[in-house]
């Protein structure tokens, strides 16, 4: 059996009227299981007094018919069912006859779709037919999952809000995505109280997502206000910090949410964002940008090795040479201070910065060299006061014609600053408060060939 046959047979199954007692067996037959297995499971179902209850296809699939609107919640339950290891299934699936929720335990991938569109996700179930899915070359698994879940969230947002697909709402959509990503990152890195953002959405966003839009509008507005200026704030939002830094300064629109959009946001929030590289946001931009516009505008990811081919001869090699020459010199302390002064006054400009990878790598390299110099100074003089970093995001400039890429670059710079502050704390014991944010990088949205300085 090939994938085309599987897709056609699935289309026939979901094209028929849903019968909660017969559906799962019709589904299984698509993948040609042993007749003895099918017969045994059918007989077991007949003995069960509750039609449409759980069915376990050992080592393959765990299925449950859900109550209306509860497929995602059922999947969250099935994930953690205690099943003997020799029978533990790879897939869990739930449907209410209107919607499907699917989960692949091996690849840690979740999907939600309409009942009549299950055949469009035939690739998800290819392992049931002995065809392993292609996953590409080794990449950071967290990055890949984050890209996929964010893309699905945006697709559902645009389905629920068709007017947001136009140019007029482009900036609002991009700003909503980047603000949401910041919250997911902050929640996993200790900037927010543990699970604060996801708990707020879960408990106050409404079962069908009907309150999520208003809730996020209030959430993002509160994070733009210092605690002393907030006035009366709902109890469940009081713990939100003042973020500042320009990220939440201006009110912007939040799209309407459906039940599925809310669930997709929660799916994304459950990923571990702690170790994600800021490069992820470049990948996100490329995945979410319109393909035609991407090719037209030349939006291409630049790898770190290629970025270093530019940064090293531009200024990194010279800084390294000065650092090496200072060590052991009679005036080493003076030379190190001069070198730090030079580092702190370097300004980096990328006139076509895309999602900011060049600026991110430059910032990280300067911070890492700064840390090495400060450690050397401490070794030379143990009585020195606790050091602080002098590499500021305000020294980094970029121009980018694509609005989503520009917003991504701003966010990526804040994230790399946070990560480097954590490294700084680990080296020197100096805890840098995560919020409020300092001023961000100077990223301008526009055509670099036409922007007048």
pLDDT digit string (tens) for 326-347? 999 999 999 999 999 999 999 9
Do 32 and 145 belong together in one domain?
no
Do 223 and 312 belong together in one domain?
no
**Residues 6 or more apart from 354 whose CB is under 8 A from it?**
282, 285, 299, 300, 301, 302, 400, 402, 405, 409
Do 153 and 111 belong together in one domain?
no
Is 450 inside any structural domain? no
Q: Which residue has better confidence, 211 or 171?
A: 211
Do 172 and 116 belong together in one domain?
no
CA separation for the pair 387, 390 (Å, rounded): 9
Do 308 and 441 belong together in one domain?
yes
What tokens were used for 8?
Answer: 């056609």
Is 453 inside any structural domain? no
Tell how far CA 49 is from the center of its chain. 43
Do 434 and 373 belong together in one domain?
yes
Instruction: Return phi, psi of residue 145, to 5°.
Output: -65, -40
pLDDT value at position 297? 43
Do 322 and 438 belong together in one domain?
yes
Residue with tokens 């028929």: 16
CA separation for the pair 376, 237 (Å, rounded): 44
What is the average pLDDT value for the chain, to the nearest integer? 84
Mean pLDDT of 365-371: 94
Where does a domain end: 81, 108, 129? Answer: 129
Do 115 and 153 belong together in one domain?
no
Is 70 inside any structural domain? yes
Which residues pair with residue 99 across a beta bridge?
114
Instruction: Return phi, psi of residue 95, to 5°.
Output: -150, 150
Lowest mean pLDDT among 24-28, 248-252, 296-300: 296-300
Q: What is the pLDDT of residues 385-441, one digit of tens each?
A: 778 899 999 999 999 988 878 888 888 888 888 888 888 888 888 766 777 777 778
pLDDT value at position 26? 94
Is 452 inside any structural domain? no
Q: Residue 319: name the closest of 339, 300, 305, 333 by CA.
A: 339
Is 255 inside any structural domain? yes
Where residue 139 falls among pLDDT bands split at 50, 70, 90?
A: very low
DSSP state, residue 124? G
- Residue count of the chain, please give it: 453
Do 104 and 53 belong together in one domain?
yes
Q: Find out whether 365 and 371 touch, Cβ atoms under 8 Å.
A: no
For the chain, how many structural domains are there in total? 3
What tokens were used for 138?
Answer: 């080794």
Is 287 inside any structural domain? no
Do 186 and 319 belong together in one domain?
no
Where residue 53 falls among pLDDT bands split at 50, 70, 90?
A: low
Residue 371 pLDDT > 60? yes
Q: Which residue has better confidence, 298 or 43?
A: 43
Q: What is the pLDDT of residues 264-320, one digit of tens each?
A: 999 888 887 876 777 655 655 555 555 444 444 444 556 677 888 889 899 999 999
Residue with tokens 């895309």: 354
3-state DSSP assignment of residue 110: strand
DSSP H or E run through 155: helix 141-160
CA separation for the pair 248, 437 (Å, rounded): 11
Q: What is the pLDDT of residues 75-88, one digit of tens each?
A: 988 988 889 989 99
Do 200 and 322 belong together in one domain?
no
- Residue numbers of the domain that contains 73: 3-129
CA separation for the pair 208, 451 (Å, rounded): 45
Do 401 and 334 belong together in one domain?
yes
Residue 89 pLDDT > 90? yes
Tell how far CA 10 is from the center of its chain. 31
Is 441 inside any structural domain? yes
**CA distance to 14, 59, 64, per residue, from 26 (Å):** 9, 19, 14
Where does a domain end: 94, 129, 164? Answer: 129
Is 315 inside any structural domain? yes
3-state DSSP assignment of residue 93: strand
């Amino acid at each position: 059996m090939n994938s085309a046959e599987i897709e056609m047979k699935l289309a026939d199954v979901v094209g028929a009227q849903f019968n909660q007692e017969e559906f799962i067996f019709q589904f299984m037959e698509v993948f040609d299981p042993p007749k003895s297995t099918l017969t045994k499971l059918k007989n077991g179902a007949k003995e069960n007094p509750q039609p449409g209850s759980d069915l376990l296809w050992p080592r393959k699939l765990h299925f449950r018919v859900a109550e209306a609107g509860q497929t995602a919640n059922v999947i969250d339950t099935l994930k953690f069912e205690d099943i003997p290891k020799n029978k533990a299934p790879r897939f869990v699936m739930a449907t209410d006859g209107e919607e499907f929720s699917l989960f692949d335990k091996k690849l840690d991938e979740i999907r939600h779709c309409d009942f009549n569109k299950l055949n469009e996700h035939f690739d998800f179930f290819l392992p049931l037919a002995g065809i392993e899915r292609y996953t590409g070359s080794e990449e950071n698994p967290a990055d890949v999952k984050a890209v996929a879940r964010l893309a699905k969230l945006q697709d559902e947002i645009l389905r629920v809000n068709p007017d947001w697909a136009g140019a007029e709402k482009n900036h609002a959509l991009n700003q909503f995505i980047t603000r949401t990503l910041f919250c997911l990152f902050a929640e996993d890195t200790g900037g927010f109280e543990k699970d604060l953002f996801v708990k707020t959405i879960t408990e106050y966003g409404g079962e069908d997502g009907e309150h999520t839009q208003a809730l996020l509008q209030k959430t993002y507005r509160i994070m733009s206000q210092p605690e002393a200026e907030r006035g009366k704030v709902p109890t469940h939002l009081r713990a939100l910090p003042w973020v500042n830094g320009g990220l939440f300064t201006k009110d912007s629109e939040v799209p309407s949410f459906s039940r599925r959009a809310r669930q997709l946001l929660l799916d994304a929030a459950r990923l571990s964002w702690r170790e994600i590289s800021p490069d992820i946001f470049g990948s996100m931009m490329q995945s979410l940008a319109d393909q035609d516009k991407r090719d037209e505008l030349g939006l291409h990811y630049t790898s770190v090795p290629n970025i270093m081919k530019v940064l090293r001869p531009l200024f990194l090699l010279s800084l390294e040479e000065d650092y090496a020459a200072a060590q052991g010199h009679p005036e080493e302390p003076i030379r190190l201070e001069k070198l730090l002064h030079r580092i702190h006054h370097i300004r980096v400009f990328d006139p076509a910065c895309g999602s900011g990878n060049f600026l991110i790598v430059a910032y990280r390299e300067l911070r890492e060299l700064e840390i090495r110099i400060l450690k050397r100074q401490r070794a030379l003089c143990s009585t020195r006061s606790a050091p602080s970093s002098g590499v500021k995001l305000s020294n980094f400039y970029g121009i980018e014609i694509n609005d989503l890429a520009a917003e991504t670059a701003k966010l990526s710079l804040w994230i790399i600053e946070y990560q480097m502050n954590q490294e700084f704390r680990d080296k020197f014991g100096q805890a840098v408060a995560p919020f409020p944010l300092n001023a961000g990088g100077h990223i301008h949205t526009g055509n670099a060939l036409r922007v007048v300085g």
